[in-house]
């Protein structure tokens, strides 16, 4: 009964305006406005705060958007079920990760098994990845910090130790290991707020009652590497994040047992969508092979 009105509402919320929604739905802007207005009038509520150049969802609008997203997900799933065979022949999987290195092998295996499914990948810190899952711009996330939130379904992909790294000309470059206490006299390059690496490093310093000399805060792993390569300070990352860089030297951390845990995450409400379910199943098989190997 309200399908057309809900679809119009969802398009306005998703695309950020009535004109953009009308274009996407191949309707006129007045027609879209009328559908949303009827929905608001029927229930005596406001779904949008309307401004001259933009619209913003109200509190009720935000809640309705989550429901309408599920409605459209189910519609999409039904259409796919009717139009395709049981094998996944076409489709698209949207991924978000805090580092590409944690997911590219999985994507490669997935594409070999389902060559008709295209994959897009965006990179950001854990807060960014969670935000993309919650606003439905990502289907699956790979991140180090999974919150205690019953909306999410997650499995652990890997656990890796933390290591220090320095410019190859740094006095520490020839050392095999350093302790966190050594950082009291060395400038430290840290990731931005929201980075799990930064949170764990700060927790370890606090746990041991140690001070550190913060030289620079950078956003992203590449910037972290560049700052250390430029001699600004010493960096700390998880072992696989270091990768390979001839300008830098990796050093083990003594007395630091903390590890970086990378997890595969999706919204529970979307876990049964076929592309997500297929990727999830493949990831579980990948983990079993890594464990047994």
| Domain boundaries along the sequence of the chain | 3-83, 91-157+261-292, 158-260
Q: How confident is the model at residue 39 (pLDDT cuts 50, 70, 90)?
A: very high
pLDDT at 266: 96
Percent of the chain with pLDDT over 90: 57
Q: Per-residue pLDDT averaged across 269-279, rounded?
A: 91
Q: Per-residue pLDDT averaged across 191-203, rounded?
A: 85
pLDDT at 79: 77
| Cβ within 8 Å of residue 253, ≥6 positions away | 161, 162, 163, 164, 177, 178, 179, 180, 236
On whether the 3-83 domain is CATH 2.40.160.40, my answer is no
Q: Is the pTM of this model over 0.85?
A: no
Q: Per-residue pLDDT averaged across 208-224, rounded?
A: 88
How many C-beta neighbours within 10 Å does residue 143 have?
26
pLDDT over 80 at 85, yes or no:
no
Q: How confident is the model at residue 184 (pLDDT cuts 50, 70, 90)?
A: confident
pLDDT digits (tens, 9 = 90+) for 40-59: 999 999 999 988 777 899 99
Higher pLDDT, 77 or 7: 7
pLDDT digits (tens, 9 = 90+) for 134-157: 999 999 999 887 888 999 999 998
Higher pLDDT, 37 or 77: 37
Q: Per-residue pLDDT averaged across 244-267, rounded?
A: 89
Dist CA 89 CA 85 (whole Å): 8
Q: Per-residue pLDDT averaged across 105-129, rounded?
A: 90
pLDDT over 70 at 188, yes or no:
yes
pLDDT at 84: 58
pLDDT digits (tens, 9 = 90+) for 161-181: 889 999 999 999 999 999 988
pLDDT at 58: 94
Asked if 91-157+261-292 and 158-260 have one fold, the answer is yes
Dist CA 73 CA 92 (whole Å): 13
Instruction: Decide if 179 contacts 253 (C-beta within 8 A).
Output: yes
The CATH superfamily assigned to 91-157+261-292 is: Periplasmic binding protein-like II (3.40.190.10)
- 209 phi and psi, to 5 degrees? 65, 35
Q: What is the mean pLDDT of the chain?
A: 89
pLDDT at 287: 86
Task: Give the class (CATH, top level) of 158-260.
Answer: alpha beta
pLDDT over 70 at 87, yes or no:
no
Q: Per-residue pLDDT averaged across 65-92, rounded?
A: 79
């Amino acid at each position: 009964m309200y399908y057309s009105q809900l679809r119009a509402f969802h398009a306005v919320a998703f695309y950020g305006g009535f004109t953009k929604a009308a274009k996407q739905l191949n309707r006129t802007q007045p027609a879209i406005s009328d559908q949303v207005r009827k929905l608001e009038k029927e229930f005596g509520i406001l779904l949008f705060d309307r401004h001259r150049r933009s619209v913003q969802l109200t509190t009720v609008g935000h809640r309705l958007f989550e429901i309408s997203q599920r409605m459209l997900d189910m519609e999409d799933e039904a259409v796919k079920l009717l139009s395709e065979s049981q094998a996944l022949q076409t489709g698209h999987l949207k991924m978000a990760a805090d580092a590409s290195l944690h997911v590219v092998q999985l994507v490669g295996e997935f594409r070999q098994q389902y060559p008709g499914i295209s994959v897009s990948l965006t990179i950001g810190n854990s807060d960014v990845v969670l935000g993309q899952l919650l606003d439905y711009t990502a289907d699956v996330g790979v991140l180090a910090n999974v919150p205690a939130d019953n909306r999410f379904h997650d499995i652990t992909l890997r656990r890796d130790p933390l290591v220090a790294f320095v410019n190859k000309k740094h006095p520490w470059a020839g050392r095999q290991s350093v302790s966190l206490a050594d950082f009291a006299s060395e400038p430290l390059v840290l990731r931005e707020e929201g980075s799990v690496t930064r949170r764990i490093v700060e927790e370890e310093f606090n746990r041991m009652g140690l001070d550190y000399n913060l030289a620079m805060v950078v956003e992203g792993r590449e910037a972290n590497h560049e700052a250390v390569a430029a001699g600004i300070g010493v960096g700390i990352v998880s072992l696989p994040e270091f990768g390979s860089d001839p300008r830098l030297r990796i050093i083990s951390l003594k007395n630091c047992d903390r590890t970086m845990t990378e997890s595969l995450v999706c919204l529970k409400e979307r876990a049964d969508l076929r592309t997500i379910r297929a990727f999830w199943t493949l990831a579980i098989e990948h983990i079993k092979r890594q464990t047994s190997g």
